[in-house]
Structure 1
Amino acid sequence: MASSFSLLSEDQLLCPICLDTFTKPVSTPCGHNFCLSCLSSYWDNERVHQCPVCKETFERRPDLKVNTFISGLALQFRLLQVTNAHTWSPGPLKDSAEFAVLCDVCTDIQQQAVKSCFECLTSYCSVHLEPHHRAAGLKRHTLVDPLANLQDKICKEHNHILRSFCLSDKVLLCDICFRSQHMNHDVVPVQQAYGEMRDLLGDTEARVQQMIQERQQKLEAMKESVKESKRETSEVIAESVKELTALVSEVQRSQTELMKVMEEKQKAAEEQAGVFIVVLEQENIELQKTKMKLMDIKQTEDQLSFLQTFPESFLLPHTTDLSSFSFNRHMELQHVQKYLSSSVSQLQTLLKKMTTEITTLSASNDVTLRDLQQYEVNVLLDPDSANSILVLSNDGKQMRYDNSPGRVYIHRPNGFSHQLAVLGQRGLWSQRFYFEVLVSQKTEWCLGVATASIQRRREVPRSPDCGLWAIWFRVKRFEAFSSPGVTVYKGKVERVGVFVDYDKGQVSFYDVQTATLIYSFSDCLFTEELYPYFNPCDNECGSNWDPMVIVPVTRIRRLH
């Protein structure tokens, strides 16, 4: 392999701009070579398109294509650098026999291997490695630190060493894989990819650690809040019971006082009336006597005797002035009744208001949904991600299933091929967002959020790590996409609200009409942007032609 580059110097494979080995090399019309990204960035910042080396100016910006020959040379050169760095290096031996790689050639007592050979697929101790230092043919073999399971390092299709890694497709490649299928991809040596992936994992690990700390702090704060809330709730309940009990006692006291006063007034009136009755009865007796006397005189027929006995004056008994007393309590009682009714009505109004406020406290779903709606975002559909069977509206707000005969299907390279799905245009990262979707009378649909790397050209597995957090509605029941066959909610909805709290790892779905929580994913670990996900589904569960429509938020209004 070293002889392959004996006529080339390292400088010939370096980009004049970044001074590193070519990555996706392109050639200008004047014959100079650069990394695609380096030259593109250079021209993006210049008004005139000219060669950075010879300064030749081009009337039009050249259409750059990756030079596959130079790309192959650059990759081989990077691989050679990595191989040479590992060849002949003594490499530390493992102290633990449990993890030591043993020589495959030793027959008696196997010694620890010091090198593994990719071409021989064999690990050697220092004694059996000696031919690789001496024999010309063996010197060209690739020696690395001892590796177990060498067969796993060989391409199953071409039986060549897996030397490189395609960052575009996330697959390991041998030389033949690279030349046949990945020349225009972002390909790097395995060691470089390993380092980059480890760095990426390190960044993700740091982010996960930060999220753990944030959640731990939030957890402690939440526990303390719950404890404080419990204490305050007990105090409020005790104080409320005390005040309401005092109110009930006051009402009972008023009732007792009212009954006492009314009964005393009635008794006093009856006593006064009793005295007057006795007087009137006595006066009636005296008047009856006077009447009898007058009747006797009136019956005398002897005129002389009548005149002689006729009294000089008629002395009537003393009587009471009837107008000085009356027993009419109707007006007084009517006034008391009117005042009492007015007071009770006012008290009932206050009690109804208090009951309404208490009921308001129990309507937690309503309050929660109204709070979440403030995070509304404007969602537009991304046509490039849509399955070719879907029809999207011109305003980017509606999608529907349409497999009518004679329809022309648009092939979309980045579109879904197995899911009848489409994503939103805008990815959202590290924030809260909310949107609403009208599902009307549809018999089946799937709605949620997905990662940018969700599988588009193959079936998305229904598992927790599939990159999709969605609910799937079929006829009258809901499932979580990641838990097939498990019903999480029953019924039918017309309008669905989707809320995402990226930092808390939460995705929640609401029935907007009733402000009811349908389902919530919690403790999710998000590591990339999330995109709204829509799947109007086909007619498997009955007529399902209605579209899914992204609609403006409907603000919740409570009726009092």
Structure 2
Amino acid sequence: MSVSLRNMTHSERESGILSWETTSTQFWILLHRSTPTRKMASNFSLLHEDQFLCPICLDTFTQPVSTPCGHNFCLSCLSSYWDDETVCQCPVCKETFGRRPNLKVNTFISELASQFTSLQVTDAHTLSPDRQKDSAGCVVLCDVCTDVQQLAVKSCFECLTSYCSVHLEPHHRAAGLKRHTLVDPLANLQDRICGEHNHILTLFCFNDKMLLCDVCVRSQHVNHDVFPVQQAYREMTGVLGDTEARVQQMIQERQQKLKEMEESVKESKRETGDVIAESVMELTALVSEVQRSQTELVKVIEEKQKAAEEQAGVFIAVLEQELTELQMTKMMLRDIKQSEDHLSFLKTFPDPSVLLPHVTDLSSFSFNRHMEMWHVQKCLSSSVSQLQTLLRKMTAEITTFSASNNVTLRYLQQYEVNVLLDPDTAHPLLILSNDGKQVRYTKGSLRRRIQDVKPGEFTVHLAVLGRRGFSSRKFYFEVLVSQKTEWCLGVATASIQRRGVLTRGPDSGLWAIWFIENRFEAFSTPGVTVYPGKVERVGMFVDYNKGLISFYDVQTATLIYSCTDCFFTEELYPYLNPCDNQYGSNWDPMVIVPVTRMEDLI
């Protein structure tokens, strides 16, 4: 190759009289005559690196072009240079052109530069006997060994050959071979060659995300962002590194959040146990005190009654004795009164005061027990009434605590909005009601062929969006899911991916809960149960400004799951996915229903 370049005269090289097509033909004829096909690429090392560098960007040629004065530049570099100059002249020799030349890619230099690019990466790793398999785990054998093929330790892109440690030695000794690209053993080197043009794949197109050879660039990717594989690799690994760092950060954040939640649950469980134990102890003590008061009250009343009965018994005995004496006095007076001898009667008439027996003053004794019992009853009733008031207050506080979820849900329900489903976004396997309030999955009778989906429709997820988007406000709506075995409900951005499978993650543009049989998952964390059980009616609340999304079991006013610290940059649209029959019969529709107050459910 160097001989053919020296055979070209200075005038031929400078004036461009000898066309590059002719030179290319002569070069390849000479090259094929002088070297075997497999070792052909090693001759490129005879060229100097400066011959493949653009004088403007000082990097290897990309889409090289030649000026009439014979100098070579990258197409984009020379075009940009001339765009900034008032006079069209060569950046190197300053030759001025009357009109701007019509630049075309120099195929010969482009092909040489493409081949030369592959020489820029040399093997920076020491030989390692452990790396004897390719990335797929296949054993790679030396292509040069004739008797018993030894395991290959490296593969050469230029030679398209895999070498054992013995046959690789020339690549570490010969100057030309040192610049070959050596990699860990690869079983299918031919896969590194362009199937259409039979050139090495040394370039990568960022627009189409595909590997290219130099011919591919000239034919189909002229105005695309094309870079050498090594540079593209660095760019892509950098992107993956950033993504990996972000993923690692999200993992750490979630691990920390999970740890905090677990600690919070444990602490809450301990506090709940302590509160229950203390409350039971206090109420038990109160019940015991009431029982003691009851026992003491009964004892005191019974003792009072016994004392009163004893007192009354003594008084009764006295009265009975006095009655006997008075009866006898009465009989005696009757006998005296019956005497007919007046003189004798008057002579023996006794003093009446002497005749009367000594009796007790009745006014000094009374048995008015009902007044005493009434007083006791009044005092007791007053005390019981005060105690009942305190108990009712305590019960009201307990009821308020247990009904706090009801209060919260009633508060959220005041932000109810009218949600209608948009048929232009529905998957072809979904059927919507005429009023836009119901959606269900159908099978067999498609609305139309899936291949004929409209641009705004979902093609994989059995989903539909609401007609209206919401931003910078709070909104709430309820969905009846009945006995469905699977469904998904949430909100999504207008730019959510609708064609193909939607990756479940925090950056999917969808915030939703996914019900599967008897448990709930957050759409962003597949496989993680966030709530056990089943519900029939779901309430969904969104606070756009605070980045809060909450899902409630309407019948029990229980929080199912909350997405917190969300960051929204677009309008949010209601997202309903009735799902298919993977987990059993699931034909029931998802129905957007008016808000139901808790008092209406009782």
Give the TM bin, normalised by the shorter chain: 0.5 to 0.7
Distance verdict in 2 for CA 1:398–1:193, change over 3 Å = farther
Distance verdict in 2 for CA 1:457–1:213, change over 3 Å = closer
Offset of residue 247 of structure 1 = 3.2
AA of the residue aligned to 2:75: Q
Number of corresponding residues = 484
- Give deviations 1:93-134, integer Å, cap 9, x for gaps: 4331222687523436677547323xx643464648999969
- Give deviations 1:47-82, integer Å, cap 9, x for gaps: xxxxx999xxxxxxxxxxxxxxx9x979x9999877
The structure with the largest alpha-carbon Rg is 2
Offset of residue 325 of structure 1 = 2.2
Alignment of 1:155-304 (within 5 A): 190-215=229-254, 217-218=256-257, 236=275, 239-240=278-279, 243-244=282-283, 246-300=285-339
Partners of 2:489 and 2:577 within 8 A in 1 = no
Partners of 1:166 and 1:187 within 8 A in 2 = yes
AA of the residue aligned to 2:336: I
1:335 is aligned, of 347, 351, 375, to 375
Distance verdict in 2 for CA 1:229–1:387, change over 3 Å = closer
Partner of 1:439: 480
Partners of 1:79 and 1:189 within 8 A in 2 = no
Distance in 1 between the 2:264 and 2:216 partners?
Answer: 58
Alignment of 1:389-400 (within 5 A): 400=439
Partners of 1:510 and 1:516 within 8 A in 2 = yes
AA of the residue aligned to 1:144: T
Offset of residue 199 of structure 1 = 1.9
Alignment of 1:133-172 (within 5 A): 144-147=181-184, 148-149=186-187, 150-153=189-192
Distance verdict in 2 for CA 1:250–1:186, change over 3 Å = farther
Alignment of 1:292-371 (within 5 A): 292-300=331-339, 309-311=348-350, 313=352, 315-355=355-395, 357=397
SS of 2:576's equivalent in the other structure is strand
Offset of residue 191 of structure 1 = 3.8
Partners of 1:93 and 1:114 within 8 A in 2 = no
Q: Verify: 1:534 aligned to 2:593, yes or no.
A: no
SS of 1:413's equivalent in the other structure is coil
Mean Cα deviation higher: 165-174 or 370-379: 370-379
Offset of residue 421 of structure 1 = 1.5
SS of 2:129's equivalent in the other structure is coil
SS of 1:296's equivalent in the other structure is helix
Offset of residue 245 of structure 1 = 5.1
Distance in 2 between the 1:191 and 1:339 partners?
Answer: 98
Offset of residue 281 of structure 1 = 1.9
* Paired-residue identity, %: 54
Mean Cα deviation higher: 319-328 or 1-10: 1-10
Distance verdict in 2 for CA 1:103–1:405, change over 3 Å = closer
AA of the residue aligned to 2:129: A
TM-score calculated relative to the size of structure 1: 0.60
Offset of residue 274 of structure 1 = 3.1
Distance verdict in 2 for CA 1:558–1:197, change over 3 Å = farther
Alignment of 1:90-101 (within 5 A): 90-99=122-131
AA of the residue aligned to 1:420: L
- Give deviations 1:332-358, integer Å, cap 9, x for gaps: 212322332342243244335445655
TM-score calculated relative to the size of structure 2: 0.57
AA of the residue aligned to 1:198: T
2:156 is aligned, of 115, 130, 148, to 115
Partner of 2:454: 412
Distance in 2 between the 1:116 and 1:98 partners?
Answer: 21
1:86 is aligned, of 103, 114, 118, to 118
Partners of 1:79 and 1:163 within 8 A in 2 = no
Partners of 2:63 and 2:75 within 8 A in 1 = no
Partners of 1:392 and 1:399 within 8 A in 2 = yes
Alignment RMSD:
6.4
Distance in 2 between the 1:112 and 1:447 partners?
Answer: 52
Can you give the 5+ residue segments of structure 2 that lack an aligned partner in the other structure?
A: 1-23, 25-60, 87-101, 133-139
Offset of residue 492 of structure 1 = 5.1
Offset of residue 291 of structure 1 = 0.9
Partners of 2:117 and 2:228 within 8 A in 1 = no
Partner of 1:494: 537
AA of the residue aligned to 2:66: L
SS of 2:128's equivalent in the other structure is coil
AA of the residue aligned to 2:368: N
Partner of 1:62: none
